[in-house]
Amino acid sequence: MYKTFIITISFAAMCLIACKQKEMKQSRERGAVSSVQKDYVRTDDSKRLAYWFPEKDSINHDLVLAAEPLWMLGRENDDADIFDYDYQMQWQQECEKSLVLCFDSIYPNSRLSLYEKTDSMVNVISRFFAADADETTMGMVINLDLENSFLSYKIASMSKEVLDYEKSFDTEIRKWNELHKRMNEYCCGVVHLDWFGGSGAVPVSIATRNIICRDRIADLQNILDYLKNGVVPSSWSIESAMYHFQNALKETAGKVTSTDSMKEMVSFYDKEDETTYDSIYHQVLDTQPLLLKTAKDWIEIRKGLLTAKKSPKQEFPYDRITSVMLERMAKTISESSEG
């Protein structure tokens, strides 16, 4: 961990120096980046990342260029494919090429692994965009959405690393994608009801999506720690964790209201708003049982996979790893209704 910290700090310093230089030394691979830059439209093209971050692009065009494939997640099909396993793996590979290309242009002789290179790059790019970020509502929406792309890449990259150790884990990843989708639908639906009519609804909703991503990243790290070193975290029993998960669903559903007084308040401003509120409300209620069922199916898949790879020191490692994740998701569900 200390080695990785030093590497990251060193790499960040190099990137800051690069920001102040008009040109950096280019390796052979960097020629590919330069050829792309010549055709790169910086203005009047909302499909390019530089259009949304002109100041960042003027500071360090190379980092913006490296970040663009990550930002493109789901944009071509209006997010229709973001939970599709095959799409995610293909997108991850495309992003990996861009990130490694940028890293190697700065450290041409680096002996870091592919995962270390891409992880260092994503961390540096994340900090670069987070620095002096626009705090207006629109600015928060754009930056939180970009952060979601970075977090999604980490999930895809770590999932690929898990697959390097256990090929059959693709079944877990596919089921997680379904669970991830249900979590987004439910938690973001609750947020939109809680913030209905307020300007904070969209940024808070995206922030909630990012929390769910961080939950999964922590879960994948626990899985990797287990597969690599047999390390299993301490936790509640799986039964207790599931109880907390179900209780979180029950409590948030109880806080979501569709009372006459709420409808009257909403319809006072616009009748169409009343219809929209009702639509979101019923979507949240319909999603709740689907979320619970998907979570149970996901647990059963993990039970088979992780028990098969159990450590001699742990009788039921899947219980501990999965229960930790359930507790995280229960907390995220509860906080989605707290505004």
**CA max distance for the chain:** 67
Tell me the C-alpha distance between 93 and 277, whole Å. Answer: 40
Cα 337 versus chain centre, distance: 20
- Of 60, 94, 62, 57, give the one whose Cα is nearest residue 75: 94
Taking the C-alpha atoms of 315, 157, 210 and 188 in order, what is their torsion angle to the nearest 10 degrees? -80
- The 8-class DSSP code of residue 197 comes to T
Query: Would you say the C-alpha torsion 160, 165, 171, 176 has a positive or negative sign?
Result: negative
- The 8-class DSSP code of residue 136 comes to S
Alpha helices in 230-270 (DSSP H): 238-255, 260-269
Q: Are 14 and 62 in contact (CB under 8 A)?
A: no
pLDDT at 303: 84
Q: Taking the domains of the chain in order of start, what are their residue ranges?
A: 43-165, 168-339
- Give per-10-residue mean pLDDT for the chain (339 aa): 39 41 34 38 73 91 92 75 90 94 92 94 94 88 94 96 91 96 96 85 95 98 90 87 95 73 59 76 92 96 70 62 96 88
Q: Are 238 and 180 in contact (CB under 8 A)?
A: no
pLDDT at 1: 41
pLDDT at 247: 96
pLDDT at 254: 81
For residue 163, the number of C-alpha atoms closer than 13 Å in the C-beta half-sphere is: 13
| 0.85 exceeded by pTM | no
pLDDT at 86: 92
- The 8-class DSSP code of residue 60 comes to -
Tell me the C-alpha distance between 213 and 186, whole Å. Answer: 14
Please state, in angstroms and as integers, the Cα–Cα distance from residue 3 to each residue in 7, 47, 102, 116, following that order: 6, 38, 21, 11
pLDDT at 74: 77
Please state, in angstroms and as integers, the Cα–Cα distance from residue 239 to each residue in 245, 246, 293, following that order: 10, 11, 15
3-state secondary structure of 89: helix
**Burial grade of 156 (CB within 10 A; 0-12, 13-18, 19 or more):** buried
Cα 60 versus chain centre, distance: 24
Q: Are 256 and 276 in contact (CB under 8 A)?
A: no
**Could you report how far apart the first and last alpha carbons of the chain are, in Å?**
35
- Of 241, 324, 250, 255, give the one whose Cα is nearest residue 291: 250
- The 8-class DSSP code of residue 236 comes to -
* Number of neighbouring beta carbons within 10 Å of residue 188: 23
Please state, in angstroms and as integers, the Cα–Cα distance from residue 73 to each residue in 149, 166, 231, following that order: 6, 26, 33
Residues with Cβ within 8 Å of residue 335, at least 6 apart in sequence: 208, 211
